[in-house]
Amino acid sequence: MGMEDLSVEVLTNILQYLGLKTVIDLRLVSRFFNRLILVNLPHFKKLSVDMSDVLIAKLLYEKIINDTELFARVEKIAEHVNLTLSKYGNSKHSPRNILDSLSDALTYCCGRSWVTKNIRKPLDWTDDWGDDETMVLAAWLRCLSTVQGLLDSGRNIDLRHPHLGSLMYAAAYNDDEDLADILIEREMTLQYSEGAYGDPLQLAAYLGSEGVVTQLLLSGLTLLANAISVGYGPFGGPLGAAAAAGNQGLIGQLIYELQSSEIIGPDSKTPLHYAARNGHAETVRELLRTEPDSDYAEDDDGYSALDLAVKEGHLDVIKVFLDSLAPSDVRETLALQYACWFGHKDIAKTLMDECAVPPDTCNGEMPPAIFCAALRGHFEIVDILLAHDQGGIDFQDPTLPYNLLTRLAEKGCASMLEHILASGKMDVNDPDECQDTALHVACRYNRPRVVESLLQIKTLDPNIENSEGETALSIALDEEHDDIIEMLVTDSRVNK
């Protein structure tokens, strides 16, 4: 049985667990999979968050072009639009070109959530198509003379269409300086929020439309970004948008012209958070140069920009931070713990080599770094940490009564426990704060694989009593773990 023989319900459930790249590759397998993914896009919640707007717009385009009824709507729109374009001296556009601009407009104006929610009926709003819709779509198509002609005929320059946005929003998307000039000269009102990106300036900053950004900043008109003192849109403002996209060349200009570098985005993220999270090293460098104290700010989840860079594995960004932070400050962060938890061995090594971050460092509420690596099964990082042992690693978790061996035993991490013991850094009988050994804990939590592994070690003392006077065997008997009891009673070292 092939995948195409499975029910649609089963297939969509499978697709939910696949990564973005895998799902996109599946679209190329057959028309069946392409259609399956397009039709069920609204249900792929994780994927729709991970996808770029460019890809969302492309999927919307393909959905419409492969749907006879939907594409018939586009052809009807094209007839109306081309009549108007011809009237004002612009060349006609094919239905496919018009659909391309429609897909972009819907994605960047309404947002990806709207697209995924309305993917089956994205054009119902086009039933009442008129000159307002044509004028804004002409701006998306870069048909300047048509826009001018319709404005001269009395159309509202401040129109903000709920699905297509405003004329300036289209200019920002296309970096259309000629259209922006006309709109600025006619004093278009620019202090209102619109579209998925908040306003034209934030969209332009995100897309790197440098010409339109400069025009807007120097227009003398009141912009939303300088009319309010709080964050707006997906990145809090134009500076956050430029930082998120890595448009380094716009950073200095936006800070100078808007004087709004302290405005934050959703979840209290700063521009530095966005740049660091997305791996834009040179943008991070520019932000640190202009805002040297911004590296300490935390978002609502308690992450600093450095934390986010470590979490996402951006080594080049980490090195930029290390150039600006004192090693003692780095040692006070969660950076090494995050690197160990998420498996970024190069970052872990860099933090220890360049900042002498101890392998047992324990900041915040996370386990010590060596615990993070071991519990997550990152053997190479564990070896790196053990190799950096200068003054004796503290294998006791200061936040819990466990040591590393008892913690691994509790979680059933037999292979990692064997690895730690093979390093010679810990003794199999090392007790934690409760005087439990790894064997005590393995018996308590019914970890027969761990017990089996421990019993193979010649230096193991299976008769040690913990602070409650319990031995491994007494614990196994109390818990009625028969498999473990059998292993213990057949070991000649165990006192019966």
Rounded Cα distance between 37 and 52, Å, is 16
DSSP-derived letter for residue 110 is I
CATH of the domain at 483: 1.25.40.20
Residue 455 lies in a domain: yes
pLDDT score recorded for residue 2: 53
Mark whether 17 and 149 lie in a shared domain: no
Same domain, 70 and 170: yes
User: What gap in Å lies between CA 493 and CA 473, rounded to an integer?
Assistant: 11
Tell me whether residue 324 is in a domain.
no
Q: Which positions ≥6 away from 482 have C-beta within 8 Å?
A: none
Going from the C-alpha of 93 to that of each of 47, 147, 368, 406, the distances in angstroms are 33, 15, 62, 70
Question: In DSSP terms, which residues pair with 165 in a beta bridge?
Answer: 161
366, 398, 430 - which closes a domain: 398
Residue 243 burial (10 A CB sphere; 0-12, 13-18, 19+): buried
| 334: in domain | no
CB under 8 A, 24+ apart: contacts of 20-27: 20/47, 20/50, 20/51, 23/47, 24/55
Q: Residue 304 gets which letter from DSSP?
A: B
The C-alpha atoms of residue 147 and residue 181 are separated, in whole angstroms, by: 13
Amino acid at 11: L
Q: Answer yes or no: is 142 within a domain.
A: yes
Question: Which residues have CB under 8 Å from 136's CB, separation 6+?
Answer: 105, 159, 161, 164, 165, 166, 167, 170
Q: Is residue 4 part of a domain?
A: yes
Residue 332 CA to residue 362 CA, distance in Å, equals 9
Structure token pair of residue 385: 């940490």
Total of domains in the chain:
4
Q: Same domain, yes or no, for 22 and 8?
A: yes
Whole-number pLDDT of residue 1: 44
CA distance 372 to 342: 8
91 and 17 belong to one structural domain: no
**Domain termination residue (choose one: 161, 188, 215):** 188
Same domain? 6 vs 135: no
Whether residues 466 and 373 fall in one domain: no
- Cα–Cα distance for residue pair 334/309, rounded to 1 Å: 11
In sequence order, the 6+-apart residues with CB closer than 8 A to the CB of 271 are 235, 236, 239, 240, 242, 243, 244, 251, 261, 287, 294
Is there a contact between 305 and 272 (Cβ–Cβ < 8 Å)? Answer: yes
> What's the domain range around 88?
40-188
Of 173, 188, 203, the domain-final residue: 188
Domain presence at residue 298: no
The phi and psi torsions of 70 (rounded to 5 degrees) equal -65, -40
pTM for the structure as a whole: 0.87
Give the residues across from 161 on adjacent strands: 165
CA distance from start to end of the chain:
56
8 within domain boundaries:
yes
Q: How far apart are CA 389 and CA 275, in angstroms?
A: 33
CA distance readout (Å), 11 to 1, 15, 55, 62, 71: 13, 6, 21, 20, 27
Residue 183, both tokens: 């709109």
Same domain, 135 and 122: yes
Q: What number of residues does the chain have?
A: 496
Q: What is the pLDDT of residue 295?
A: 64
Same domain? 151 vs 23: no
Instruction: Judge whether 362 and 368 are in contact, CB under 8 Å.
Output: yes
Same domain, 51 and 172: yes
Are residues 56 and 176 located together in one domain of the fold? yes
Q: Are residues 47 and 163 in the same domain?
A: yes
For CA atoms 369, 372, 374, 380, the dihedral sign is: negative
Q: Is the separation of the CB atoms in 171 and 199 below 8 Å?
A: no
Question: By three-state DSSP, how is residue 113 classified?
Answer: helix
Does residue 258 lie within any of the structural domains? no
Same domain, 377 and 433: no
Please list the residues that pair with 403 across neighbouring strands: 396
Q: What is the 3-state secondary structure (H, E, C) of 8-67?
A: HHHHHHHHCCCCHHHHHHHCCCCHHHHHHHHHCHHHCHHHHHHCCHHHHHHHHHHHHHCC
Whether the CB-CB separation of 265 and 235 falls below 8 Å is answered with yes
Q: Mean pLDDT, 10 residues at a time, over the chain (496 residues)? A: 52 60 63 66 57 86 93 98 97 98 98 90 96 98 98 97 98 98 97 96 98 96 86 94 96 86 85 96 94 76 94 97 93 96 98 94 94 98 91 86 96 97 95 96 97 96 96 95 95 89
Distance between CA atoms of 194 and 181, rounded to whole angstroms? 20
- Segment (H or E) for 372: helix 369-375
- Output the pLDDT for position 260: 62
DSSP code, position 107: I
Phi, psi of 293 (to 5 degrees): -95, 0
